[in-house]
Structure 1
């Protein structure tokens, strides 16, 4: 019982440990295990995509991609693509996922989408955390209020 408690404690301490294993189950894919920092400043987009690749390509049913609690992950535009080998994928958001605060961060990107799931069957999104698109910054940029602006001026 002491070993199990130790694994669970290390799994919830820090992204820096790179250990988020629940009961030793290989079906859990934490973004921290793929390099996410979770400090709200460092960009974690690549780690999210790598964790997704591992989850999507899992050779068993019911894998879970984990965004751990007590962390804030800054991610730019993401597309989680399928089809996946795995069936019944769970995307578990326990922590916080934030978009860049400034619309300028979207230069040369499509601002109409931030997090997209495409071609994925049997996806279950569960959240105890927060997904924050930083909308208030965009509302000030709206063409409705600034009709003379075009996308390139962001």
Structure 2
């Protein structure tokens, strides 16, 4: 009976660990997606800055796009900060101890990577929401006829 419960708990725990690892491994793909989106947003904002936007709803929409661009830059900076390799001194350490220390440093970064992954998912959801609001409020061509 106890063996079955332990087996069940270990199975559930291993599934949770696998999901966590897959989410953290997806950070690189999320960074690529956000980098491409940031390039598009920057081009859009450059065009928007050249136009004379007088419509308040368009101004608000551009402000939201600009805010999400800042958030993308921040999260990408944080990902690269976490990926900077640490160069500990290897003197006096066996290869096994060195490998254990390296694994420990990686494990310490897991919660931060998890949080960044969540932040990136939130940003992608915000981008989707901003895009849907553009359609919902009829923001098609910014500053049309006024630039």
Q: TM-score range by the shorter chain?
A: under 0.3
Task: Identify the structure with the greater strand proportion.
Answer: 1
Using the size of structure 1 for normalisation, the TM-score is: 0.22
